[in-house]
Amino acid sequence: MSWDAIEGATNYKVYRDGNEIGESDTNTFKDTGLTAATDYSYQVKAVCGLLASELSSAAIIATKESQSG
């Protein structure tokens, strides 16, 4: 997933369903270990030193159904 970069941000904290799941030095993040055919809510917080932004608005992302065969 990706989002608009914030000028001056040194990194970003990524949240899934309200829980912090990781950090990124860029405006992209790859989440792993997700369940197929499930909706997840993601939010991002920009960090610059000791300062941090408010959480972004939530983006709902749906995983695809698993392919069996």
Q: Determine, yes or no, domain membership for 67.
A: no
Cα distance between residue 27 and residue 66, in whole Å: 27
Q: Determine, yes or no, domain membership for 26.
A: yes
Q: Determine, yes or no, domain membership for 3.
A: no
Q: Determine, yes or no, domain membership for 52.
A: yes
So what's the pLDDT on residue 66? 82
**Domain with 47 in it:** 11-62
So what's the pLDDT on residue 15? 98
Q: Which residues of the chain have pLDDT under 70?
A: 69
Q: Determine, yes or no, domain membership for 5.
A: no
Looking at the structure of the chain, the number of domains it has is 1
So what's the pLDDT on residue 69? 55
Q: Determine, yes or no, domain membership for 2.
A: no
Q: Would the pTM count as exceeding 0.75?
A: yes
So what's the pLDDT on residue 67? 78
